[in-house]
A = this chain, B = another copy of it.
Amino acid sequence: MGRLRQALTHREAGVVEALITRTERVEDGQMLLRRGAIVEHSTILIEGFILRSVQSGEKRHILATHVPGDFVDMHAFALKRLDHDITVLGPALVGYARHEDLRIMMEQEPHLARLFWFSTLLDAAVHRTWILKMGELRVDQRIAHFFCELWAKLEMVGLAREDGFSSPLRQSDLAEITGSTPIHVNRMLRELREAGLVEFRRGRVFCRDRSRLAQFAHFDPSYLYGAGDLAVHDELSVNAIT
């Protein structure tokens, strides 16, 4: 949603912010919500990182990552029940909006309601890209692709650098994101480093040649629908690509 900010008027942004009735600082690794929980509020990430994951036996698998400004559980607003865990990565600041208030707001602000729906559709589009990439890329390319995606998302909210970004990610997190193992991730990170594509050192990602990294990862950012893009959709005046 933070990425949708450009699609909001100043007034609307205020309306959204007024929904947040409570904020909370949470520490690394804390699980905000557990799969199956019934929720009566939605969570917005203000600072830090949040993961959507599922526990599968001993292993945890990360399904999606969120950056500041994102509503992380809008789907639960409609479905009421979460199908995965919501976990904080590194220290974070989160805000809560009550579903009841959201519902009232959506009735009064159809444009905002539409944007909230958009944000869940964007999540789905990101999911689809991951299904594709899990199927067609090697682990090293998946790691690179994840770096590209997170970099782009952080950039949209002004948290990226020219030559990379910082995060509290560990190698084992990358393993859970890419569906691999920490050991293999470690080897692949070495290869990426030796190939001069990207460096990962305790959460910090450095990359000199971004387009080369994107090419290696087969990364095409269009699935993230930049805020500009979205605004255009809203006006209903996009060019045919057919």
Contacts and interface: CB of A to CB of B under 8 A. Distances in A.
A219 to B, nearest CB: 12
A238 interface: yes
B135 A242 contact: no
| Interface residue range, chain A | 35 or more
Interface string A139-183: 000000000000000000000000000000000000000111000
Interface in A54-100: 54, 56, 59, 61, 63-64, 75, 78-81, 83-84
Given A75-B125, A81-B238, A131 B130 contact: yes
A7 to B, nearest CB: 12
B36 A128 contact: no
A16 interface: no
For the complex formed by this chain, how many copies does it contain in all?
Answer: 2
Nearest to A222: B83
B80 A128 contact: no
26 contacts: A36-B240, A37-B241, A37-B242, A38-B241, A52-B128, A54-B128, A54-B132, A61-B131, A61-B132, A61-B136, A63-B132, A64-B128, A78-B114, A79-B125, A79-B225, A80-B233, A83-B222, A84-B128, A117-B120, A120-B120, A120-B121, A123-B124, A127-B127, A127-B128, A131-B134, A135-B178
A238 B80 contact: yes
Contact of A56 (B83, B123, B136, B180): B136
A242 B83 contact: no
Nearest to A107: B110
Given A61-B135, A75-B121, 11 more contacts: A36-B241, A38-B240, A54-B132, A61-B136, A64-B128, A81-B238, A83-B223, A124-B127, A127-B127, A127-B131, A135-B180
